[in-house]
Structure 1
Amino acid sequence: MSKLSAHINNIALHHSVFALPFAYMGLFLAAKGIPTFHDFLWVTLAMIGARSSALAMDNLVDLKFDKQQNRMSKRPLVTGAIKPIEVIILIIVSLCIFLYSASQLAPICLKLTPICLFFLLFYPYTKRFTFLCHYFLGVALAMAPAGGYIAVTGELPFGIILLSGGVCLWIGSFDVIYGSQDRQFDLDHKLHSMATQFGVANAHKIAAFFHFISILCFIGAGIYFDLSFIYYIGVLIAILTLIYQHSLITPYDFSRLTQVYFMRNGIVSIVIFVFTLIDILS
């Protein structure tokens, strides 16, 4: 059980709160109501397989840096609670789950898996050469609503592109803020980020700007799908959450940049999905 717990911790299973609600949002929008159990099951398994392989890959690729970073000292790979070979096996199993699940959905899903795998597995390397690494992560999560919609319809309408764009900018900009606390470590190890490129203060301004654009994308998606005022209640809560989150952090004080701060961002995905669901079913 301790080994299982360590693997769950390694892939940060609780971080599913960021992408899974948006995958379900795409799924329910595509079904225009309650999707079939078949689609719900295989989309869920595809998401589990995709994010598990991506998070495990990220931790494995960054292990040599995590061992030197005090903030990462309790990660299972760093402490030795799990071994690299075990992580490799988990990645292979997770990818098999992802690929098989994709094969059970609309035919185009399996054809698109190479694109998905590129962003899922290549993201950990991007911080080696570009300050846009945060938005590579954003693209990886943005595939959630697109995948949920395509799984049912085999199509990618403009409304889903807007929704996916909102997810990309929302999570990518949050990663800009969260990663800014590691600026000096990144500079010392020749890693790239918005903070190393532009400084922490400017990185936070960029994040705030793109969070604003992400909200416009969520509003645009609501307009495209002709959602009612109920949906926009969720968007309003998301706006207030983002404003509150930005108010807690300054470029000179990271004391509130905790796991609680990190997880609170999940409110955005949860409320937008919940109010979309209420809207669709009302």
Structure 2
Amino acid sequence: MVWTKGWNRITEYGTLVMFSHTIFSLSFALIAMLLAANGLPEVTTFFWILVAFLSARTGANALNRVIDAEIDAKNPRTADRQLPQGQLNKTEVLIFTLCCFIVMLAAAWMLNPLCFYLAPIALFLMVIYSYTKRFTWMCHVILGISCAAAPVGAWLAITGEMSWLALFMGAANTAWVAGFDIIYGAQDYQFDKANGLRSIPETFGLKYGLYISSSFHVATVFFLLAVGFLSEVIHIWYFIGLAVIAVLFIIQHQMISPTNLKNVKIASYGINQLVSIVFLVFGLLDIYF
């Protein structure tokens, strides 16, 4: 009975922080790490990079649920989430978030001084993102920048210094996440209008919002091309994978329109989970074969 309750609690938290969506930035972090190390780094470094990534991402998502609890309760699409339904309470989720952020800082300390000194900036972005929809349509970009801390941080953990390759990888991660978050946000267009929330679809309309999303994904491809040309260890497999990603982007944007949003979840999450997997698999093929 105790084990069942414990497992149910773990499942609830996994749903709360959307743990299945970890793949979105994990692939960028892993490829950045492998490129920086020209293969696998030391086991301890690899371990602390994973700990820093998972704790930061988990804490950020848990905090987002707390900050957005009242908004989620009003929105029919999100009203069945754990906090609006009372399955979890804010206090315990905030404690959970604090624990995650402490673990992240500890992991950054174990990596190198630069990672530790820059960690508060990443934490600030993770905290401020959840408030941005209340005052700026740039919320999608700020989310993307927060996610970009993963590949940039992984690069810094290995090399201890910044490079153009790391910046282009971060830019690609930013543009990619911003692009599919705009698509996801399109389904809340009417709700955002009615409740004074900001987003690119709400500010520019669904038609131009989806155009902007497409532009972000075009930029993603160009940033990833820059990564490929800057790296000395990237060869043909990476570019084949990038071509597959470009096709997936085209399919994604063909699935939706301002008058047809029924495939929003598949386009924003399903397709982009495939994008992440393709990026990881072809990146690994290129580095190791």
Q: TM-score, normalised by structure 1?
A: 0.97
Residue 272 of structure 1 pairs with residue 288 of structure 2: no
Tell me the CA shift for residue 251 of structure 1. 0.8
For 1:95-135, what per-residue CA distance to the aligned partner results, in whole angstroms no more than 9, with x for missing partners? Answer: 11101111110220000011101111110101111001000
Tell me the CA shift for residue 261 of structure 1. 4.9
Cα distance in structure 2, aligned partners of 1:144 and 1:261? 20
Question: Of 4, 12, 15, which aligns to 1:9?
Answer: 15
Q: Which runs of 5+ in 2 are unaligned?
A: 1-6
Q: What one-letter code is carried by the residue in structure 1 that aligns with 2:256?
A: I
Q: What one-letter code is carried by the residue in structure 2 that aligns with 1:69?
A: N
Q: Secondary structure at the match of 1:253?
A: coil
Tell me the CA shift for residue 52 of structure 1. 0.9
Q: RMSD across aligned C-alpha pairs, in angstroms? A: 1.2
Cα distance in structure 2, aligned partners of 1:139 and 1:258? 22
Cα distance in structure 1, aligned partners of 2:106 and 2:286? 32
CA contact (8 A) 1:3 1:81 kept: no
CA contact (8 A) 2:60 2:126 kept: yes
Question: Of 233, 236, 254, which aligns to 2:240?
Answer: 233
- Deviating above 6 A after TM superposition, structure 1's stretches of 4 or more consecutive aligned residues are none
Cα distance in structure 2, aligned partners of 1:260 and 1:229? 27
Tell me the CA shift for residue 136 of structure 1. 0.3
Aligned partner of 2:219 in structure 1 is 213
Question: Of 116, 120, 129, which aligns to 1:110?
Answer: 116
Residue 84 of structure 1 pairs with residue 90 of structure 2: yes
Aligned partner of 2:139 in structure 1 is 133
Tell me the CA shift for residue 273 of structure 1. 2.2
Q: Secondary structure at the match of 2:187?
A: helix
Question: Of 168, 175, 178, which aligns to 2:181?
Answer: 175
Cα distance in structure 2, aligned partners of 1:237 and 1:107? 38
CA contact (8 A) 1:3 1:82 kept: no
Residue 250 of structure 1 pairs with residue 267 of structure 2: no
Cα distance change on mapping 1:74 and 1:187 into 2, 3 Å: same
Tell me the CA shift for residue 48 of structure 1. 0.9
Count of residue pairs the alignment pairs up: 282
CA contact (8 A) 2:252 2:267 kept: no
Tell me the CA shift for residue 55 of structure 1. 0.3
Q: 1:21-36 residue pairs with structure 2 within 5 A? A: 21-36=27-42
Cα distance in structure 1, aligned partners of 2:75 and 2:257? 22
Question: Of 188, 193, 202, which aligns to 1:187?
Answer: 193
The percentage of aligned residue pairs carrying the same residue is 33
Q: Secondary structure at the match of 2:188?
A: helix
Question: Of 196, 199, 214, which aligns to 2:202?
Answer: 196
Question: Of 218, 221, 228, which aligns to 1:222?
Answer: 228
CA contact (8 A) 1:106 1:153 kept: no
Tell me the CA shift for residue 276 of structure 1. 1.6
Cα distance in structure 2, aligned partners of 1:157 and 1:168? 17
Cα distance change on mapping 1:168 and 1:238 into 2, 3 Å: same
